[in-house]
Copies of this chain bind each other. A is one copy, B any other.
Amino acid sequence: MTTTVVAGNPKPGSRTLDAATRLATSLSGEQPDHVIDVVELGAGLLGWGDPAVKNAVDTVSSSNLVIFASPTFKATYTGILKLFLDQFATGEGLRDVTAVPLMLGAGPAHAMAPDLLLKPVLVELGATCPVAGLYLIDSTYTEDSRIADYAQRWAPVLHATTRTEAS
C-alpha cells in the first residue's frame, strides 16, 4: 500500500504537514511513502503543465491512501491546496484513491469544514472518502489523543477500501 501526504499550507514545513504525517503513520502503521508540501511547487501551480506539479499529481493519483491536509483559512481550506487540486482530472484524478480530509484550526468553530467543504472536492475528483473527516486544534494535536482515537475508529474501514482498490 502506497501512502501519501499532501499539505496545503503556504508556509513550508508547517504543523499541517506534521499533523498529516502523524495521521498517515497512525493509519498505516508506517511513515508515508511520499510527502508533498504543496507550497514548494511554487509558481508552477498557477498554470498548467509544470513538470514538478505534474509529477506530484501522478504521485498522488497512483497512491492507495492519501491524507489531504489544510489549515483553516477563511473558514475553509486554503487557496494553495485548491490550486493543487485544480490540477487533477474531474471524476478520474483520484479514482481508486482512498482519501482522508484533514483540517487544522486555532479553535473548534470550524470543525465542520473537512466534511462539508474539503471532502466534496475530493469526491468530485473520484476519490473514495469512506470515513468522517478529521479536524484538529493546531495547538494541541501533538498532545491530545485525537489522531490515535481516529485511527482506532476508522483504520479498518479505510483499509477495506484500499485493499479492494489495490486488488
Instruction: Determine whether A6 belongs to the interface, using a CB cutoff of 8 Å to chain B.
Output: no
Q: Give the Cβ gap from A101 to chain B, nearest Cβ, in Å.
A: 11
Q: How far apart are the CA atoms of A152 and B16 in the complex, in Å?
A: 36
Determine which of B84, B109, B112, B128 lies in contact with A157 in the assembled complex, contact meaning CB atoms within 8 Å.
B128
Question: Which bucket holds chain A's interface residue count?
Answer: 35 or more
What B residues does A46 contact at CB under 8 A? 10, 39, 42-43, 45-46, 80
The answer to whether B90 touches A79, judged by C-beta atoms less than 8 angstroms apart, is no
Is A83 located at the chain interface by the 8 A CB criterion? yes
B80 touches A161 (CB 8 A): no
Contact A75 B120 (CB under 8 A): yes
A22-30, A54-62, A129-137, A140-148: which lies at the B interface? A129-137
